[in-house]
Structure 1
Amino acid sequence: MIRYALSCAQDHSFESWFQNADAFDALLRAGQLSCPICGDAKVSKGLMAPAVSPSRRAEAAKARAEAPSEAAPLAAQSELEKALAEMRRHIETNSEYVGGNFVSEARAMHEGETPGRSIYGEAKPEEARKLLDDGIAVTPLPFLPRRKTN
């Protein structure tokens, strides 16, 4: 596997993994690569440096110097990351995290057993499909709950 730093004609930067260099070239020739931010199909490889592991001592010193506090959010780098960060903030501020009880809570609200409210939590894919089949609107979120992240 190889990871390439890519950019589009609109100067959006992103990364993607490919089986090898030939796989990247074949997808590019077939027009199957596009920018995840704007959809532009004019994609090119950016400058890359090989991944070289630092010495253990240097790695430990860097980790100590860069250790962010858990309360400090990571800085968003692109428009897409900023939008995702805003979506997360909005959901966490305006919804109740119900964890693994998501399916039963969503079903109870749909059936009128509990008052309706905005919730988010966790469900197995087959459980989410069953909710959709039963007419209960759910959607996957593009992030894990903070309790589940490192």
Structure 2
Amino acid sequence: MIRYSLKCDQNHGFESWFQNAQAFDSLQAAGMVTCPDCGSSKVAKSLMAPKVRPSRNAATVPAPAEPAPTPPATPAPAPVATAPDPDVARQIAELKAKVEAESDYVGDNFVSEARAMHLGDCPERAIYGEANLADAKELLEEGVPVMPLPFTPTRKTN
């Protein structure tokens, strides 16, 4: 998996995870990468720095002496906790209602149902359910179009 910093043509910045660089390119070409703020599909990668883990023996090898950093002229403002955006919460609630009204909940059978539809073993229909990260990655590697939902499904029982 790879995380990209992205920016839309309206200058909204956001991040998203992709299976690999080719997955991003194909999804972007299909217009499936959209800005969560404005919905624009004109999205490009932003400048980003990779996260590099220190080597295992970095703790045993003394680090070269570095000059002490100079303190900033003014202290950075403390982060302030903000309430969730009510508009975003409303949109997620609307999406949840639409998905639950127009799709079949298949629960823990999501992986097998999605795979069967992809292989043509059963008729295609809109479904949603639950899958662990490893199973979701396998589906993506097989070319099965799946995506996570921004909410937890309401569990339906018989």
* Bigger share in helix: 1
